[in-house]
């Protein structure tokens, strides 16, 4: 009589929900019912369901209702389509669960097999998002004669984007490597964070470029069977996954019947959605649509469902990208609100910045960019403000948002506290030519020195197709230093930590911001003195460390090249 006890517990949850559900234990092969979804426009339509089998294995992850779906809506869609995930399934007039998986490459488009996620584990997601609306429903034990697990795939919700070019969409899908150019910040990222992954590696099957929802066209209210979006970006650029509402109870929404990015706790935007049409395809048909306005937040991204709350919106990150191109007299501004999600922050900022530059320049090619960005956060002790300059002989747009995205990634994975990003503002002036200065020569006033001496130097610089200039100064050899020689080096921009230098110790977010502030920009010329680490002879390799240096900025001009001279040290 175990199932009677389970039914009693389920009924407690049923009363609390105010909805009529049918637990997995009552479902039998041969039962018929229906599902609800939108295949085009705003009309919620019905399709028919017949139960083929019940998979009731130990635990809940492999518990499914195997069904065949049929009817005009299924035939019109070319089978069960991506974006139908979450479609509520009713048996004997009671909610059994959500359509969540289907067979790819199915030859039977009229009556395809599909899997339904039972309602019980979905109710746990509802309880997580809004504690108290329902009693937890215990998992049933294995049923005699349970069928083996079928090889059916998620009806992964397609991600629809608007406002992005083809290459921005490709970057969103594939990700980006921010560790280029040997930037010192890259050393602060976890070793496993070799690159920022794109949505494809996070489980998103495809990213579809779509137009915004037509003006004045209202989406249906969030009701069972209606389209719903899980938004990652809203504003001048929209990015969001399309799915279907399973259940709405006291402003709490259950949808998808499977995870989105499977983050567990989440801070996504709950949005309206519009379905233009459903596209029949050979592998998986899909709903072609777009996300709309923000209605609330998605706070749970679990195996059985995503759960959100209407009217409770996550803070998100308010971003502004302003790009000016004096040569073309253009001034482009994009304003976008992004979700605050560590795995996605750097990717979304990079893609948004890339899109802003591409729209402003209306070309792909070389140039020089002077960039200024400001980052604020709830837990940041102060705003981070940084200026830098970047040059590319092939594609300047790739570099404008690069350091900002790297900073965002470092902040997201810092060891001290969640920065709680609030605002990000980036301004850039992009010129088509090369504003560059080359380090051409480095000379010193003598050939040998002693500890305590000053090394006077002169650096010859040459501007891009310009005149030669000389920059002179001095650095001091520390008194009492024990080294057979010193190396004087002139270089542009930041440098990597030498083997003889210990890693900087950071103890707080304030220390991290100070570290970022102290990284030389690419328009900085530095002349630095290095000594030989005494441990070099013990480890059998050259290990240098910096002992003195002087820097100067050549504003909005990339300094490139590196020269060094070896200076023997003799005793006084």
Lowest-pLDDT range of 51-65, 204-218, 500-514, 516-530: 204-218
pLDDT tens for 508-524 read 999 999 999 999 999 99
What phi-psi label fits residue 514: left (phi over 0), alpha (psi between -120 and 50 degrees) or beta? alpha
Assess whether pLDDT exceeds 70 at residue 282.
Answer: no
pLDDT in the model for residue 109: 62
pLDDT tens for 329-350 read 889 999 999 999 999 999 999 9
pLDDT tens for 161-209 read 999 999 999 999 999 988 776 788 888 888 777 788 999 888 887 788 8
DSSP for 385-444, written as a single string: EEEEEEEESS-GGGTTTHHHHHHHHHHHT-SS----EEEEEEEEEEESS--EEEEEEEEE
How many residues in the chain? 572
Tokens of residue 227, six digits: 């389209």
Pairing verdict, β 384-392 and 367-377: antiparallel
What is the radius of gyration, based on Cα positions, of the chain?
Answer: 30
- Which one has a higher pLDDT value, 132 or 145? 132
Produce one character per residue of 289-323: b if its CB has 16 or more CB atoms within 10 Å, e if not: bbbbebbbbbbbbbbbbbbbbbeebbebbbbbbbb
Within 8 A by CB and 6+ apart from 340, the residues are: 267, 314, 315, 316, 317, 420, 421
DSSP for 180-213, written as a single string: GGG-GGGGGS-TT--SEE-TGGGT---EEE-PPP
* Chain center to CA of 180: 18
* Spatial contact of 87 and 35, defined as CB atoms under 8 Å apart: yes
Query: Strand, helix or coil at 7?
Result: helix
Q: Which residues pair with 380 in a beta bridge?
A: none
Pairing verdict, β 421-431 and 317-325: parallel
pLDDT tens for 119-138 read 999 999 999 998 643 433 34
Burial class (CB within 10 angstroms; exposed 0-12, middle 13-18, buried 19+) of 361:
buried
Q: Nearest 5°: CA angle at 365, between 362 and 366? A: 125
Assess whether pLDDT exceeds 80 at residue 15.
Answer: no
Q: Looking at residues 67-77, what average pLDDT do you find?
A: 89
Tokens of residue 155, six digits: 């009806």
pLDDT in the model for residue 188: 82
Q: Measured between alpha carbons, how far is 516 from 382 in angstroms, rounded to an integer?
A: 13
Residue identified by tokens 């441990």 is 535
Assess whether pLDDT exceeds 50 at residue 141.
Answer: no
Assess whether pLDDT exceeds 60 at residue 8.
Answer: no
31 CB-side CA count, 13 A:
22
SS3 letters across 295-325 = EEEEEEECCCCEEEEECCCCCCEEEEEEEEE
* Spatial contact of 357 and 401, defined as CB atoms under 8 Å apart: yes
Nearest-CA neighbor of 337 among 427, 241, 232?
Answer: 232
Q: What is the DSSP letter of 569?
A: B
Pairing verdict, β 88-91 and 94-102: antiparallel
Q: Measured between alpha carbons, how far is 391 from 559 in angstroms, rounded to an integer?
A: 10
Residue identified by tokens 């921009």 is 493
User: Does the 2-145 domain belong in CATH 2.40.37.10?
Assistant: no
pLDDT in the model for residue 212: 76
At residue 183, φ and ψ (nearest 5 deg) are: -65, 135
Helices (H) and strands (E) in the chain, counts: 8, 30
E-strand stretches of 236-314: 238-249, 252-255, 264-279, 286-301, 306-310
pLDDT grade for 501, boundaries at 50, 70 and 90: confident
Q: Measured between alpha carbons, how far is 67 from 96 in angstroms, rounded to an integer?
A: 12
Nearest-CA neighbor of 400 among 374, 375, 426?
Answer: 426
pLDDT tens for 401-417 read 999 999 999 999 999 99
Q: Measured between alpha carbons, how far is 146 from 149 in angstroms, rounded to an integer?
A: 9
Crossing angle (nearest 10°) for helices 119-129 and 2-17: 40
CATH 2.40.10.10 residue ranges in the chain?
A: 2-145
Please, what is the average pLDDT of the chain? 86
Q: What share of the chain is helix, strand, coil (3-state, %, to 5)?
A: 20, 40, 40
Q: Measured between alpha carbons, how far is 21 from 27 in angstroms, rounded to an integer?
A: 11
Q: Looking at residues 46-54, what average pLDDT do you find?
A: 93
Residue identified by tokens 């240096």 is 549
Q: Looking at residues 433-448, what average pLDDT do you find?
A: 95
pLDDT in the model for residue 134: 40
pLDDT in the model for residue 153: 53
Q: Measured between alpha carbons, how far is 464 from 467 in angstroms, rounded to an integer?
A: 8
Within 8 A by CB and 6+ apart from 442, the residues are: 457, 458, 459, 460, 488, 490, 527, 563, 564, 565
Q: What is the pTM of this model?
A: 0.88
Assess whether pLDDT exceeds 90 at residue 210.
Answer: no
pLDDT grade for 81, boundaries at 50, 70 and 90: confident
Q: Measured between alpha carbons, how far is 39 from 305 in angstroms, rounded to an integer?
A: 21
Within 8 A by CB and 6+ apart from 8, the residues are: none
């Amino acid at each position: 009589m175990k199932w009677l006890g389970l039914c009693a517990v389920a009924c407690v949850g049923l009363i609390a929900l105010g909805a009529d559900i049918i637990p997995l234990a009552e479902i039998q092969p041969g039962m018929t019912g229906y599902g609800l979804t939108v295949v085009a426009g705003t009309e919620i339509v019905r399709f028919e369901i017949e139960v083929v089998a019940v998979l009731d294995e130990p635990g809940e992850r492999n518990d499914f209702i195997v069904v065949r779906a049929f009817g005009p809506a299924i035939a019109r869609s070319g089978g069960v389509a991506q974006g139908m995930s979450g479609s509520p399934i009713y048996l004997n007039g009671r909610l059994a669960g959500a359509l969540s998986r289907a067979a790819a490459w199915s030859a039977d488009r009229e009556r395809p097999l599909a899997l339904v996620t039972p309602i019980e584990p979905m109710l746990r997601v509802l309880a997580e998002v809004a504690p108290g609306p329902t009693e937890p429903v215990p998992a049933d034990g294995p049923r005699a004669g349970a069928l083996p697990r079928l090889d059916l795939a998620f009806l992964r919700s397609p991600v629809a984007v608007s406002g992005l070019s083809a290459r921005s969409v490709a970057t969103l899908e594939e990700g980006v490597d921010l560790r280029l150019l040997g930037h010192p910040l890259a050393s602060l990222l976890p070793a496993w964070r070799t690159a920022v992954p794109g949505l494809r590696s996070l489980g998103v099957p495809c990213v579809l470029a779509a137009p915004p929802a037509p003006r004045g066209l209202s989406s249906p209210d969030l009701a069972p069977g209606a389209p719903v979006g899980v938004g990652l970006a809203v504003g001048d650029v929209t990015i969001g996954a399309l799915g279907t509402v399973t259940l709405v109870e006291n402003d709490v929404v259950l949808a998808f019947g499977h995870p989105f990015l499977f983050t567990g706790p989440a801070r996504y935007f709950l949005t309206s959605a519009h379905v233009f049409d459903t596209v029949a395809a050979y592998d998986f048909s899909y709903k072609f649509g777009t996300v709309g306005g923000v209605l609330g937040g998605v706070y749970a991204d679990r195996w059985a469902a995503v759960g959100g709350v209407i009217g409770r919106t996550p803070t998100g990150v308010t971003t502004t990208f302003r790009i000016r191109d004096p040569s073309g007299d253009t001034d482009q501004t994009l304003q976008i609100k992004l979700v605050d999600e560590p795995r996605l922050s750097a990717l979304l900022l990079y893609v948004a910045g890339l899109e802003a530059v591409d729209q402003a320049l209306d070309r792909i090619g070389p140039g020089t960019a002077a960039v200024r960005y400001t980052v604020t956060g709830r837990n940041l002790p102060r705003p981070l403000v940084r200026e830098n300059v970047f040059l590319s002989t092939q594609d300047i747009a790739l570099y404008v948002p690069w350091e900002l995205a790297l900073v965002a990634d470092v902040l997201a994975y810092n060891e001290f506290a969640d920065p709680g990003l609030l605002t990000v503002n980036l301004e850039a002036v992009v010129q088509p030519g090369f504003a560059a200065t080359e380090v051409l020569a480095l000379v010193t006033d003598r050939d040998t020195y002693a500890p305590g001496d000053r090394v006077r130097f002169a650096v010859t610089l040459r501007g891009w197709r310009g005149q030669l200039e000389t920059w002179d100064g001095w650095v001091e050899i520390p008194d009492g230093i024990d080294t057979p020689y010193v190396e004087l080096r002139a270089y542009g921009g930041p440098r990597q930590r030498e083997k003889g230098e210990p890693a900087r110790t950071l103890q707080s977010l304030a220390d991290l911001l100070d570290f970022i502030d102290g990284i030389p920009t690419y328009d900085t010329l530095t002349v630095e003195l290095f000594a030989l680490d005494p441990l070099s002879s013990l480890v059998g390799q050259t290990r240098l460390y910096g002992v003195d240096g002087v820097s100067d900025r050549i504003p909005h001009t990339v300094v490139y090249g590196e020269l060094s001279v070896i200076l023997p040290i003799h005793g006084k």
